[in-house]
Amino acid sequence: MSLDFLPFTRPSIDEETIARVADVLRSGWITSGPQVLAFEAALSTLCGGRPVRAFSSGTAALEVALRLAGVGPGDEVLSTPLTWVATANVILSVGATPVLVDIDPTSRNIDLDLLETAISPKTKALIPVDLAGLPVDRDRLYAIAARHRLRVVEDAAQSFGAFWNGQMIGCSGDFVAFSFHANKNLTTGEGGALVVPDDVDLSRCERLRLQGVKRYPDGGMDVDLPGGKFNLTDVAAAIGLGQLEHLTHFTERRRALARRYFARLDPALGLDLPPADFTHSNWHMFQPLLPPGTQRGAFLAAMKEQGIGVGVHYPALHLFTLYRSLGYAAGQFPHAEDVAARTVSLPLFPAMAEADVDRVCIALAKALGR
């Protein structure tokens, strides 16, 4: 790969954070310890003082949230087919049945009108997904949940730093799961976190996170439930603490780059652009839809030839073999299938320059033959 290759994303990790990680390595305490506690406290402050527990991944946070919500065999959980497959996999992991609902073609998030009609007596919880960092309408979502007495597990893996009603996602609501994967707006390398509602036993959350172990002051222990191995390390937490210092800058920079894409992309290219939301979205990704009939593989290759990396987020998960085996089939969710087939994720990360956006737009026009 040439030195001037522009990837679709790249984490911004400063020298102070690198030094912080080195200090943790020198300390001899590199698994869960004081850095994790400090990271959780900082996240709690951002989330309005709500309790937050760190996890090894956003996927783990989602699974534990479902278990804390009492979801299990015989239950149904409603979610979207346009998301990373982990969203649905965790439903299967707790023994429940994923019931998928098509998206709204404008927001590309779950269609809340369809969501309410899909609720059945077996429905136990809802998992909305904030695609590309654009929050699902929380007011309508929680009104639906309240009417049907359902728990909500917000898959906010992509929306850390986004806002709703002037508050950062996580400051309100039921369960809220974040991801700090390497491509997220804030990263710990691998990691995640769960905002835990007040009616949930935090000690149970912690036991589910680490093998179900309950420790006693005299050195004894007990195990009263089958927990997982989902704890975050101090090494990862140290990265997260360093990243938090730049969160506002990261978000502002992403918004500025997104604005430039809107200004520079030629309407004649026939792209369907994402909603131009600069109030709520954290602009985790900038995702235009290719013109109908465009061969996406050829487009990706043409962009790569020009030194531009482009991602695809996400395939429609109900078309995967696993979910076809559960009875899902092509044609069930036409809006999700259309968006999934045409979406591309253009480069967008804080270290990009305005000239990089211009370069992407020029390459994109060439790749589309304009």
Domain edge (last residue) among 193, 224, 244: 244
- Looking at residues 65-74, what average pLDDT do you find? 98
- Looking at residues 277-282, what average pLDDT do you find? 98
Question: Domain for residue 1, yes or no?
Answer: no
- Angle CA(79)–CA(133)–CA(368) in degrees, nearest 5? 100
pLDDT above 50 for 1: no
Same domain, 83 and 134: yes
Q: How far apart are CA 215 and CA 165, in angstroms?
A: 41
- Looking at residues 270-285, what average pLDDT do you find? 98
Same domain, 191 and 74: yes
Q: Which pLDDT does position 136 carry in this prediction?
A: 98
Q: Model confidence over 196-245: pLDDT tens digits?
A: 999 999 999 999 999 999 999 999 999 999 999 999 999 999 999 999 99
Same domain, 273 and 190: no
The CATH number linked to 213 is 3.40.640.10
Q: Which pLDDT does position 250 carry in this prediction?
A: 98
Same domain, 56 and 147: yes
Domain edge (last residue) among 244, 277, 307: 244
Name the residue range of residue 61's domain.
15-244
Q: Please give the structure tokens belonging to residue 208.
A: 């589910």
pLDDT above 90 for 33: yes
Percent of the chain with pLDDT over 70: 99
Q: Which pLDDT does position 370 carry in this prediction?
A: 74
- Looking at residues 28-43, what average pLDDT do you find? 97
Same domain, 186 and 269: no
Cα separation values, 172 from 147, 164, 206, 244, Å? 18, 9, 21, 20
Same domain, 213 and 262: no
CB-based contact 315:344 (threshold 8 Å):
no
Domain count, the chain: 2
Q: Model confidence over 142-193: pLDDT tens digits?
A: 999 999 999 999 999 999 999 999 999 999 999 999 999 999 999 999 999 9
The CATH number linked to 282 is 3.90.1150.10
Strands 151-155 and 175-179: parallel
Same domain, 93 and 218: yes
- Looking at residues 46-66, what average pLDDT do you find? 98
Same domain, 236 and 87: yes
Active site residues: 184
Non-local (6+) Cβ contacts of 331 within 8 A are: 337
Same domain, 92 and 112: yes
**DSSP 8-state class, residue 229:** B
Q: Which pLDDT does position 26 carry in this prediction?
A: 97
Neighbours of 251 (CB within 10 A): 23
Question: Domain for residue 4, yes or no?
Answer: no
Domain edge (last residue) among 244, 265, 288: 244
Same domain, 280 and 254: yes
